[in-house]
Chains A and B, each alone.
Chain A
Amino acid sequence: MRSSAAIWVLRVSAVAAIYYAAARLGLTWQLPGTNASPVWPPSGIGFAAVLLLGYRVWPGIAVGAFLANLQTLHTTNAGFAAIGICAGNTLEQIVGVFVLRQLIGSRNPLERAGDVFCFVVAAGVGCLLGSINGTANLWWWGIVPSESCRQVWLAWWLGDTAGVLILAPVIFSLFQKSDVEWTRLRVLEAFALFVSLAAATQFLFGDHRGWLNLELLDSLAYAVVPGLAWAAFRFSPRETALAAALMSVIAIINTSNGSGPFFRSDPAVADAASIGSDAGSVRHVDAQRLRAESLLMLQIFVIAIAVTSATLSGAVSERNRSEQGLRELNVTLEQRVADRTAELQQANAALERSNQELDDFAHIASHDLKEPLRGINTYSAFLLEDYSDKLDADGQAKLNTLQKLTRRMESLIESLLMYSRVGRTELAVQDTNLNETLADIVETLDIRLRELGVEIRQPHPLPTIRCDGVRVGEVFRNLITNAMKYNDKPQKWIEIGCEPQPANGTNGGAMVFHVRDNGIGIREKHLDSVFRIFKRLHGRDEYGGGTGIGLTIVKKIVERHGGRIWLESTFGEGTTFFFTLAQG
């Protein structure tokens, strides 16, 4: 508590001292023949102090301002006027910072072009208050006549505003972190920047009429502005503010010394004024007007430089920050993609493991299931063999049914084993001439094909494809066998063909195979369930029976090859199964 109070006293004293010193400095910048400094540095000190240290430092500003004003004013009521003015000076900074905080919150006002604009507005508003108050005080205490009030107020307002705009950014940014990397090259560049800016400004504003008579130079004040762009684009707001301040100070000092493009004086006016004739008094007014013009031009110049540089560097640092943000986002994004990929790979590995475990389970379980079943089958066979003379026809028929059921159970288990085997064993992938594969299959089915009177149609030969020939043979065998079984037409046919898949980007190069029949067809509501394990659409002994595993295995084989299987069917007219296999 004690130490924080001590710090406060220390800060307030420091602010008061600096404010007073800045005021003394500002007074040396008064243009010849005026009582006004084109830029009032204390207002910049005060604004930066409130911005950095908070509203609590206001007594420092008040004390500094009071002392400065007391020393400037030499009239009888100087004390009262100084109190009135210093109150305004203090309020000016408090209100300015308050407006700024209302507009941009606690953000650094120099790091966004929009925030810089708010800073300009806040400075203008604060100083408007201070300048009105100051002018009113001077008029009230009779220091300034009412006809001069307008001019005094404008010079005051612009001077204070320029002071805030040119100095506050320098001081404020000195206490902020800068992201400029000071390599040796960068230091050299900064040195070059400041030296060349100072030299150029001195050249444009300095008194060189003795050795270089160039009227043109008087119109070239704004030629220094590109130097600010250099500072803004290559350095941080701090260096840019410093460059603008340097240029302003050189311009002000030169102008107050009576040189540069903004200094207005008519030699004739000066002469006449010194004579003090009637004509002189008219011209004296002209001289005052010219000096006011000088002041105004210089103030506008300084404000323009300050606003331009701050806006530029604000926009540049805004851009740099968003670039940085994008880079960071990019890195984060890459990291997140990597993380997610790892997660997916893990999940995939887990899934593969559990698939493998499921297949292993099916394999082992069905082996174990078969053993007692075999026992039942064997023993019912023993019964039939050993006790045939003791069993009547009914008993024998029941034992036969028992055997038939065990055989059916066994074929179901066998189907399950086959299915699990398709998932368990590696595909033996090699270049396979599917024409030969199909011919082999048709040959083994030849007898049944003839019995049933089924015609095999093959409009064009099948391609050679990299696949597990035995498995793909099973696909064809299953589909052809189904087509044979489920057909009640007098003229039965099965068409087997293929065509390249219409290229749609991802699946280019795949072939679509089809097995088409003119069989009984499948009702639309059953289309989805035909691939389900043990799903049959007909009675157990209709259409030659079966366990209902065939299409499930077919689907698994096709999918293990990375393909897809689907069907189209018109009930009563026929069915077409399609499946894809990659050609590679």
Chain B
Amino acid sequence: MPLAPHQTILLVEDSPEDREATLRAIKKAGLSNPVHWCDNGDKALDYLYRRGEFADPAKSPRPGVILLDLNMPGTDGREVMSEVTQDPDLKLIPIVVLTTSSDERDIDAFFASGAKSYIVKPVTQDGILKAVQRLESVWSFNF
């Protein structure tokens, strides 16, 4: 089981409405993991690298999964993804892309740039469950 119940889910999402939908979907899917929300890419990177307000490791537990919105103001999801996948330590954290596009070519591009799974927005209970399933299958390949 890649995502242990105690592991934090890092949700990187600029839209509060989308965040609400995602939190609700996580709850409905029966996941009780703590969720940390960052509303932009810079904060997400600070969290992951434990910089600034996240310097205290107790406040920034290493997430078990990153739910990443791609289109954000400032540092967007694509940059976060490229930094994370280039970091030898962080690249082990699976990334699930939150996308508005269900086009095959876009999704192929997400996987090519290091995403392990994706959810088409709005995030629903069903979407979360499918993504986690896909994550587990990818996970089992990796180990």
Cross-chain contact B122 with A425 (CB below 8 angstroms): no
Cross-chain contact A425 with B105 (CB below 8 angstroms): yes
* B73 vs chain A, min Cβ distance (A): 11
Closest to B104 in A: A470
CB contact under 8 A between A378 and B21, given known A367-B71, A371-B15:
yes
CB contact under 8 A between A375 and B15, given known A367-B100, A370-B100, A382-B24:
yes
Q: Residue-by-residue, is B117-135 near A (CB-CB < 8 Å gives 1, otherwise 0)?
A: 0000110000000000000
Cross-chain contact B101 with A375 (CB below 8 angstroms): no
Q: Residue-by-residue, is A383-419 near B (CB-CB < 8 Å gives 1, otherwise 0)?
A: 0000000000000000000000000000000000110
A377 to B24, CA, bound (A): 14
* B19 vs chain A, min Cβ distance (A): 10
Cross-chain contact B20 with A377 (CB below 8 angstroms): no
Q: Residue-by-residue, is B5-18 near A (CB-CB < 8 Å gives 1, otherwise 0)?
A: 00000000001011
Of residues 398 to 444 in A, which have CB atoms within 8 Å of B's CB atoms? 417-418, 421, 425
Instruction: Select which of A368, A372, A377, A417 is within 8 A of B101 by beta carbon.
Output: A417
Instruction: Select which of B17, B101, B121 is within 8 A of A379 by beta carbon.
Output: B17
A374 at the interface (CB under 8 A from B): yes
B103 at the interface (CB under 8 A from A): yes
Instruction: Write out the residue numbers on chain A whose beta carbons fall within 8 Å of the beta carbon of B122.
Output: 374, 377-378
Instruction: Write out the residue numbers on chain B whose beta carbons fall within 8 Å of the beta carbon of A381.
Output: 21
18 contacts between A and B (CB under 8 A): A368-B71, A371-B15, A371-B100, A372-B17, A374-B15, A374-B17, A374-B21, A374-B100, A374-B122, A375-B18, A377-B122, A378-B17, A378-B18, A378-B20, A378-B21, A379-B20, A418-B103, A425-B105
What 5 pairs between A and B have smallest CB-CB spacing?
A375-B17, A378-B21, A374-B122, A378-B122, A370-B100
Instruction: Write out the residue numbers on chain A whose beta carbons fall within 8 Å of the beta carbon of B24.
Output: 382
Instruction: Select which of B20, B71, B103, B121 is within 8 A of A421 by beta carbon.
Output: B103
Instruction: Write out the residue numbers on chain A whose beta carbons fall within 8 Å of the beta carbon of B15.
Output: 371, 374-375
Instruction: Write out the residue numbers on chain B whose beta carbons fall within 8 Å of the beta carbon of A425.
Output: 105
CB contact under 8 A between A374 and B103, given known A367-B71, A382-B24:
no
Number of A interface residues, CB 8 Å? Answer: 16
Instruction: Write out the residue numbers on chain A whose beta carbons fall within 8 Å of the beta carbon of B103.
Output: 418, 421
Number of B interface residues, CB 8 Å? Answer: 13
Closest to A368 in B: B71
Closest to B69 in A: A371
Residues of A contacting B: mostly: helix
* B77 vs chain A, min Cβ distance (A): 12
Closest to B21 in A: A378
Instruction: Write out the residue numbers on chain B whose beta carbons fall within 8 Å of the beta carbon of A367.
Output: 71, 100
Closest to B121 in A: A374
Instruction: Write out the residue numbers on chain A whose beta carbons fall within 8 Å of the beta carbon of B101.
Output: 417
* A547 vs chain B, min Cβ distance (A): 16
A374 to B121, CA, bound (A): 8
A557 to B35, CA, bound (A): 44
Most A CB within 10 A of own CB, among B17, B71, B101, B105: B17
Closest to A377 in B: B122
Instruction: Write out the residue numbers on chain B whose beta carbons fall within 8 Å of the beta carbon of A377.
Output: 122
Instruction: Write out the residue numbers on chain A whose beta carbons fall within 8 Å of the beta carbon of B100.
Output: 367, 370-371, 374
Of residues 348 to 376 in A, which have CB atoms within 8 Å of B's CB atoms? 367-368, 370-372, 374-375
A421 to B104, CA, bound (A): 12
* A386 vs chain B, min Cβ distance (A): 10
Closest to B25 in A: A378
CB contact under 8 A between A374 and B18, given known A367-B71, A382-B24:
yes
Instruction: Write out the residue numbers on chain B whose beta carbons fall within 8 Å of the beta carbon of A375.
Output: 15, 17-18
Of residues 70 to 111 in B, which have CB atoms within 8 Å of A's CB atoms? 71, 100-101, 103, 105
Instruction: Write out the residue numbers on chain B whose beta carbons fall within 8 Å of the beta carbon of A418.
Output: 103
Instruction: Write out the residue numbers on chain B whose beta carbons fall within 8 Å of the beta carbon of A368.
Output: 71
Closest to A428 in B: B105
A425 to B103, CA, bound (A): 12
A488 to B19, CA, bound (A): 46
A378 to B71, CA, bound (A): 18
Most A CB within 10 A of own CB, among B18, B20, B21: B21
Instruction: Write out the residue numbers on chain A whose beta carbons fall within 8 Å of the beta carbon of B17.
Output: 372, 374-375, 378-379
Instruction: Write out the residue numbers on chain B whose beta carbons fall within 8 Å of the beta carbon of A371.
Output: 15, 18, 100
Instruction: Select which of B20, B105, B121 is within 8 A of A382 by beta carbon.
Output: B20
A375 to B21, CA, bound (A): 8
